[in-house]
Amino acid sequence: MDKILVHGGRSLEGQVRIGGSKNSALPILAATLLTKEKCVIDCVPDLSDIHYMLTILSQLGAEVERASGVVQILAEKIRTEAPYEIVRKMRASVCVLGPLLGREKKAKVSLPGGCVIGDRPIDLHLKGFEALGAKVTVKGGDILLEASRLRGARINLRGRQGPTVLGTGNVMMAAVLAEGETVIEGAAEEPEVVDLADFLTAMGARISGAGTQRLEIEGVKELHAAKHTVIPDRIEAGTFLVAGAIAGKKVTITRTNPRHLEAVLTALTTAGFEISHTEESVTISPNGSRKPLHLETLPYPGFPTDMQAQFCAMLATRHGTSVVTETVFPQRFMHVAELKRMGANIELSDHRATIHGVEQLSGAPVMASDLRASAALVLAALPADGVTEINRVYHIDRGYERIDEKLNSLGAHIERVKA
Tell me: does residue 399 bind ligand EPZ (CB under 6 A). yes
Find the binder of ligand EPZ among 25, 29, 122, 381 (CB under 6 A).
Answer: 122
Please identify, among the stretches 11-19, 163-171, 263-271, 389-397, the one whose residues bind ligand EPZ according to the rule CB under 6 A. 163-171
Nearer to ligand EPZ, 137 or 287 (CB): 137
Cis peptide before 301 (omega within 30 of 0): yes
Q: Taking the CA of residue 221 as centre, how many other CA atoms within 13 Å lie in the half-sphere pointing to its CB?
A: 0
User: How far, in Å, CA of 169 to CA of 138, rounded?
Assistant: 21
Q: Which of 32, 257, 283, 305 binds ligand EPZ (CB under 6 A)?
A: 305
* 167-186 positions binding ligand EPZ, by CB under 6 A: 167
DSSP state of 111: P
Query: What are residue 144's phi and psi, to 5 degrees?
Result: -115, 125
Verify binding: residue 272, ligand EPZ, rule CB under 6 A: no
161 touches ligand EPZ by CB under 6 A:
yes
Residue placing its CB nearer to ligand EPZ in the complex, 190 or 389: 190
Q: Are 335 and 308 in contact (CB under 8 A)?
A: no
Instruction: Encode 312-350 in three state secondary structure.
Output: HHHHCECCCEEEEECCCCCCCCHHHHHHHHCCCEEEEEC
The least CB distance from residue 290 to ligand EPZ, in Å, is 26
Residue 363 in contact with residue 381, Cβ under 8 Å?
A: yes
When asked if residue 372 is in the footprint of ligand EPZ (CB under 6 A), the reply is yes
Among residues 240, 273, 311, 329, the one that binds ligand EPZ under rule CB under 6 A: 329
* Beta-ladder partners of 106: 146
How many residues touch ligand EPZ under the rule CB under 6 A: the total is 26
Q: Give the residue, chosen from 44, 165, 237, 253, that forms a contact with ligand EPZ under the rule CB under 6 A.
A: 165
DSSP conformational letter for 134: -
Nearest distance, CB of residue 27 and ligand EPZ, angstroms: 7
Does the protein bind ligand EPZ through residue 394 (CB under 6 A)? no
State how far Cα 93 lies from the chain centre: 13
DSSP-based three-state secondary structure for 154: strand
- Annotated catalytic residue within 39, 95, 115, 312: 115
Of 103-111, 155-163, 310-318, 338-346: span binding ligand EPZ (CB under 6 A) = 155-163
Residue 164 makes contact with ligand EPZ by CB under 6 A? yes
C-beta of residue 179 within 8 angstroms of C-beta of residue 219: yes
CA distances from 36 to 3, 32, 63, 75 (A): 42, 8, 11, 5
Select from 125, 260, 351, 406 the one that contacts ligand EPZ (CB under 6 A): 125
Can 312 be counted among the known catalytic residues? no
Cβ proximity to ligand EPZ: between 121 and 209 the closer is 121
Using CB under 6 A as the criterion, what x/- string covers residues 20-39 for binding ligand EPZ? ---x--x-------------
Residues 89-118 that bind ligand EPZ (CB under 6 A): 92
Question: Nearest CA to 32 among 230, 219, 207, 256?
Answer: 230
Shortest approach of ligand EPZ to residue 174 CB, angstroms? Answer: 14
Q: Are 117 and 103 in contact (CB under 8 A)?
A: no
Q: How far apart are CA 56 and CA 64, in angstroms?
A: 10
The residues annotated with a catalytic role in the active site are: 115
What are the residues binding ligand EPZ (CB under 6 A)? Answer: 23, 26, 92, 120-125, 159-162, 164-167, 188, 192, 305-306, 328-329, 371-372, 399
